[in-house]
């Protein structure tokens, strides 16, 4: 056996993870915040169990996926080995997948329309499972992007509560790629504050430090941890 010739297979991901962890700690320190006030959602979409496992082994427990089907196909097996994993849905959710989403996810970041509220409310009661819910804002008012326009946010959040009985925990936003993100994060934080919402899902690989400065409680970081998709 040529043991001495074997090169260990080292994925990039534990290094990426360690670097992101360090950057989050630094950003928290700079902002005068506790590290524990920011949850890193490691976005593992398109990556398989072999890429994800080293990041779990390195200590990460919160993961984000953008498709219900993909999450269903890879996470139940991983969660059998690591039961303390929390899964967050960060992508658009079709109402007819609300049942599967409520069963699988611990948080849903993409609540963005009345029909989805209705479907989620029904499943939350039926399954007695209560994922954290974030309303997604379309702060750049981009026609191709999901989310509630800022001008409609207060009314939509109120209707989530009053019409559908949903407990909304926070807001999520994805700034337009070509805009400086800070004003979008600041607007999201302002709308959350005036609606009594304490959680802010904002910041991705390119801008999570800025988001932490502006109050993000959840940063959704994919490529900086796992590499290019
Ligand atoms: C893919 C994705 C992310 C992660 O993006 P990176 O740039 O890879 O960090 C964050 N949020 C949402 C909604 C995503 O779809």
Residue 12 confidence (pLDDT) above 60: no
First to last CA, the chain: 36
Q: Given ligand 1 and candidates 40, 136, 147, 204, which is best to mutate, with the most ligand atoms within 8 Å of its CB?
A: 204
pLDDT band for position 203 (cuts 50, 70, 90): very high
The predicted pLDDT at position 110 comes to: 98
Q: Which residue has the higher pLDDT, 224 or 5?
A: 224
Residue percentage of the chain with pLDDT more than 90: 93
Residue 132 confidence (pLDDT): 98
Digit-coded pLDDT (tens) for 135-172: 999 999 999 999 999 999 999 999 999 999 999 999 99
103 Cα–ligand 1 center, Å: 22
Q: Determine phi and psi for 58, rounding to 5 degrees.
A: -75, -5
Instruction: Answer yes or no: is pLDDT of 198 > 90.
Output: yes
- Look at ligand 1, atom 10, and give the residue with the nearest C-alpha: 220
C-alpha distances in angstroms, 64 versus 75, 85, 163, 172, 181?
11, 11, 28, 13, 21
Cα 133 from chain centroid? Answer: 11
101 Cβ contact list (under 8 Å, min separation 6): 68, 89, 93, 108, 120, 123, 131
Q: Which residues contact 32 (CB under 8 A, 6 or more apart)?
A: none
> Ligand 1, from 43, 206, 208: best to mutate by most atoms within 8 Å of Cβ?
43
Ligand 1: list residues with CB < 6 Å: 43, 45, 66, 90-91, 174, 204-205, 220-224
Q: What is the rounded distance in angstroms from the CA atom of residue 8 to the CA atom of residue 99?
A: 42
pLDDT score, position 15: 84
What 3-state DSSP class applies to 165? Answer: coil
CA neighbor of 64 nearest in space, from 5, 132, 11, 1: 132
Per-residue pLDDT at 7 exceeds 70: no
The arithmetic mean of pLDDT across residues 16-43, rounded, is 98
Report CA(146)–ligand 1 centroid distance (Å): 14
Q: What is the mean pLDDT of the chain?
A: 94
pLDDT at residue 6, rounded to an integer: 47
- Assess contact for 146 and 109: CB atoms under 8 A: no
The whole-number average pLDDT for the span 96-109 is 98
| Single pTM value for the model | 0.94
Is 90 exceeded by the pLDDT of residue 10?
no
Residue 221 CA, closest ligand 1 atom number: 9
């Amino acid at each position: 056996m040529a043991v001495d010739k074997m090169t260990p297979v080292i994925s990039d991901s534990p290094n990426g993870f360690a670097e992101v962890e360090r950057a989050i700690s630094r950003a928290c320190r700079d902002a005068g915040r506790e590290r524990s006030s920011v949850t890193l959602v490691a976005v593992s979409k398109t990556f398989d169990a072999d890429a994800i496992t080293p990041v779990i082994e390195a200590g990460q427990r919160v993961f984000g996926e953008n498709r219900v089907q993909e999450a269903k196909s890879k996470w139940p097996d991983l969660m059998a080995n690591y039961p303390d994993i929390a899964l967050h849905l960060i992508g658009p959710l079709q109402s007819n997948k609300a049942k599967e989403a409520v069963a699988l996810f611990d948080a849903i970041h993409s609540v963005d329309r009345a029909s989805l509220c209705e479907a989620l409310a029904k499943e939350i009661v039926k399954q007695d499972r209560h994922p954290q819910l974030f309303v997604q804002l379309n702060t750049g008012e981009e026609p191709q992007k999901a989310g509630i326009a800022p001008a409609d946010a207060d009314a939509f959040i109120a209707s989530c509560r009053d019409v559908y009985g949903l407990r909304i925990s926070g807001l999520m936003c994805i700034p337009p790629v070509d805009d400086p993100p800070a004003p979008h994060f600041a607007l999201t934080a302002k709308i959350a504050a005036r609606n009594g919402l304490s959680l802010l899902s904002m910041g991705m690989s390119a801008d999570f430090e800025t988001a932490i400065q502006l109050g993000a409680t959840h940063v959704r970081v994919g490529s900086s941890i796992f590499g290019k998709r």
